[in-house]
């Protein structure tokens, strides 16, 4: 398990990825983004710097709620991208972002995954009650959007109280993905784009309907010291090039 935790810690903790041009930069921006955006945003940051070589981008990933707490505690952030509306609503309520600066830029879907090899058969949420499933990896609903979506789905199916003893609360969707991939859990809830990263190790058992679309908002923060560059980065994400990169990773266009 040690190698798994080593890998997990690289995502759970604050991650700084600097994409720096060879020339002197005009602006350095810090982007805090939901863990499910990890791969796509690394590619986006590189493509952005190629187009705007005067800028520098630092990426920070984590559960949306954890990133919100970091901003609340004074972490310098220019752009915030969360995996749900609720977290961005909280950021707005705390005056960390303004309504005029937030916009939905991509959609995702919630899925239930099982190990690719030797996994149990799951055709519906009710199958989570079977004896073969002893551990269900789930991002802590207190601060992970995927966890909240999953809890709501299980409550709607009248299963939450029945399967709660099996729930293993993890820090984010990538940790849930790793638990299932390493067969430390027989099932787990992640976003579709997370499952697509390990098609050789996990299978998507079912796609979970959600009451509201799994839409991702992004916003320049109120405390941004580089507002022009922050807006420029957001425009790039919404451009055809940025959207294509997101699509390459399985994200869907914002509705």
* Annotated binding residue 27: no
pLDDT, the chain, mean: 91
Angle between helix axes 227-238 and 38-51 (nearest 10 degrees) is 110
Q: How far is residue 36 from each of residues 104, 119, 217, measured CA to CA in Å?
A: 15, 23, 13
* Annotated binding residue 184: no
pTM for the complete prediction? 0.88
Q: Helix, strand, or coil here: 83?
A: coil
Rounded CA separation 150/113 (Å): 12
| pLDDT of residue 15 exceeding 60 | no
Share of the chain above pLDDT 90, in %: 86
Average pLDDT, integer, range 215-238: 97
Per-residue confidence band for 24, with pLDDT thresholds at 50, 70 and 90? very low
Q: What is the CATH number of domain 2-107+215-248?
A: 3.40.190.10
Rounded CA separation 26/12 (Å): 30
| Residues recorded for the chain | 255
Q: What is the CATH number of domain 110-208?
A: 3.40.190.10
Average pLDDT, integer, range 113-136: 93
Rounded CA separation 174/190 (Å): 8
Return the half-sphere exposure (C-beta side, CA atoms, 13 A cut-off) of residue 88.
26
Domain ranges for the chain: 2-107+215-248, 110-208
**pLDDT tens digits, one per residue of 104-113:** 999 999 999 9
What is the pLDDT, as a whole number, of residue 152?
A: 95
| pLDDT of residue 3 exceeding 70 | no
| pLDDT of residue 119 exceeding 80 | no
* Annotated binding residue 173: yes
What is the pLDDT, as a whole number, of residue 19?
A: 44
What is the pLDDT, as a whole number, of residue 242?
A: 98
Per-residue confidence band for 161, with pLDDT thresholds at 50, 70 and 90? very high
* Annotated binding residue 36: yes
What is the pLDDT, as a whole number, of residue 17?
A: 44
The helix or strand, by DSSP H or E, that contains position 121, with its residue range, turns out to be none
**pLDDT tens digits, one per residue of 38-86:** 999 999 999 999 999 999 999 999 999 999 999 999 999 999 999 999 9
Average pLDDT, integer, range 98-118: 96
Per-residue confidence band for 25, with pLDDT thresholds at 50, 70 and 90? very low
């Amino acid at each position: 398990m040690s190698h798994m935790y080593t890998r997990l810690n690289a995502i759970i903790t604050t991650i700084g990825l600097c994409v720096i041009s060879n020339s002197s930069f005009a602006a350095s921006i810090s982007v805090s983004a939901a863990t499910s955006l990890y791969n796509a945003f690394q590619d986006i940051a590189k493509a952005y710097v190629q187009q705007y070589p005067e800028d520098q981008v630092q990426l920070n990933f984590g559960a949306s709620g954890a990133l919100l707490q970091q901003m609340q505690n004074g972490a310098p952030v220019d752009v915030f991208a969360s995996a749900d509306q609720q977290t961005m609503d909280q950021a707005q309520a705390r005056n960390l972002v303004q309504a005029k600066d937030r916009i939905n830029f991509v959609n995702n879907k919630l899925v239930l995954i099982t190990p690719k090899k030797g996994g149990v058969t799951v055709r519906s949420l009710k199958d989570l009650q079977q004896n073969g499933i002893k551990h269900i990896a789930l991002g802590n609903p207190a601060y992970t959007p995927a966890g909240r979506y999953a809890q709501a789905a299980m409550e709607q199916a009248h299963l939450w109280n029945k399967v709660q003893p099996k729930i293993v609360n993890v820090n984010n969707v990538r940790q849930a993905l790793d638990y299932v991939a390493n067969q430390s859990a027989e099932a787990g809830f992640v976003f579709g784009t997370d499952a697509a990263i390990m098609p050789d190790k996990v299978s998507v058992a079912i796609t979970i309907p959600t009451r509201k679309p799994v839409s991702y908002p992004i916003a320049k923060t109120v405390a941004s010291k580089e507002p022009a560059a922050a807006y420029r980065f957001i425009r790039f994400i919404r451009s055809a090039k940025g959207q294509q990169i997101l699509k390459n990773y399985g994200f869907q266009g914002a509705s």
